[in-house]
Amino acid sequence: MIVVTGATGNVGRPLVAALAAAGAQVTAVSRSKPAEWPSGIAHRRADLAEPEGLRPVLDGADALFLFPQGPADALVDVAKAGGVRRIVLLSSQGAGTRPGAYAHFAGFERAVRNSGLAWTVLRPGGFATNTLAWQESIRVNWTAAAPFGDVALPFVDPADVAEVAAKVLLGDGHAGRVYELTGPAPLTPRERAHAIGEALGVAVRFLDQSPADARAEMAAQVPGPIADATLAVLGDPLPAERRVSPDVERILGRPARSFAEWAARSAAAFE
Ligand SMILES: NC(=O)c1ccc[n+]([C@@H]2O[C@H](COP(=O)([O-])OP(=O)(O)OC[C@H]3O[C@@H](n4cnc5c(N)ncnc54)[C@H](OP(=O)(O)O)[C@@H]3O)[C@@H](O)[C@H]2O)c1
């Protein structure tokens, strides 16, 4: 049995679907169960912040997809006690490129590396789904505001992260590996706004946002240091953050999905 935490999120949902489609026995975990949940896929409510609550869920599990929330070491201990032998961690590119700022992820990586289990770390770059922050402004007046409009980064489609995770959970040869997951090409925020407009069949106007305004918006949702680190990546990316990684294509045997593909699939979210 494979336990998927973060199971109702951008990565978790397609991962659960892919594992179930492959015939695996899956238990999906999140704090709340969505009103619409596929019948036939087990869902358990638990909070990663309270590892003891996961003990009955992980009892008898073979593998765990670990969403990086809660106390890393205690979560790994509970997984081991339940019989888990394979663990796949959803980390972040930042754990490698800016370990100081992304110490939270580095801590999770340390916990799985030291677990003695067959571990694999997934380090995605920025998600295509981050542009859902434009949902309302695109719906209301066809505009999309962001800082650093001409700085290009290879955002990854979370569906690709999920597909890689499914391969790693179901296949062999991935133990002790760290995979960096990006899209197939760097795109600027301006180009992403244009791609969403193309998918909608309308012109989406890009508005340059000041870094200070962007920080204020971000700091309402994430801790200040994370907002600062994110802005640093968006505005002044390191060469390793601009780079297109070959790992998605290597693992899936096909190119990573483009941002345009994600926008076409997600157009309804902006209407
Ligand atoms: N966005 C990016 O650009 C980016 C880049 C690299 C890495 N990442 C990492 O990827 C992760 C985000 O993945 P995502 O987009 O798939 O997430 P998401 O769409 O925000 O979904 C979060 C999932 O985790 C569950 N969850 C959250 N807190 C929980 C808790 N305390 N206990 C149990 N379940 C919990 C949520 O369900 P409930 O709320 O019902 O519990 C939901 O299923 C983050 O760790 C982020 O740092 C993101």
pLDDT in tens, the chain (271 residues): 999 999 999 999 999 999 999 999 999 999 999 999 998 999 999 999 999 999 999 999 999 999 999 999 999 999 999 999 999 999 999 999 999 999 999 999 999 999 999 999 999 999 999 999 999 999 999 999 999 999 999 999 999 999 999 999 999 999 999 999 999 999 999 999 999 999 999 999 999 999 999 999 999 998 898 899 999 999 999 999 999 999 999 999 999 999 999 999 999 999 9
* Cα angle 118, 52, 172; round to 5: 15
126 ligand 1 Cβ < 6 A: yes
210 and 146 Cβ atoms separated by less than 8 Å: no
16, 30, 163, 218: which to mutate for ligand 1, most atoms within 8 A of CB? 30
Scored b (16 or more CB within 10 A) or e, 59-88 reads: eebebbbbbbbbbbebbbebbbebebebbb
Beta strands at 86-90 and 177-181: parallel, antiparallel or unpaired: unpaired
Cα of 67 to ligand 1 centre, how many Å? 7
**Considering only CA atoms, which of 51, 250, 230 is closest in space to residue 153?**
230
Distance separating alpha carbons of residues 50 and 143, to the nearest angstrom: 41
127, 164, 178: which to mutate for ligand 1, most atoms within 8 A of CB? 127
Domains and CATH numbers, the chain: 2-270 (3.40.50.720)
* Residue 46, φ and ψ in degrees, nearest 5: -160, 155
Residue 145 has which token pair? 């505001």
94 ligand 1 Cβ < 6 A: no
Cα of 9 to ligand 1 centre, how many Å? 6
Cα of 203 to ligand 1 centre, how many Å? 31
Residue nearest to atom 47 of ligand 1 (CA): 92
9 ligand 1 Cβ < 6 A: yes
147 ligand 1 Cβ < 6 A: no
Task: Give the H/E segment covering residue 45.
Answer: strand 42-45
Angle at which helices 103-113 and 72-82 cross, to 10°: 30
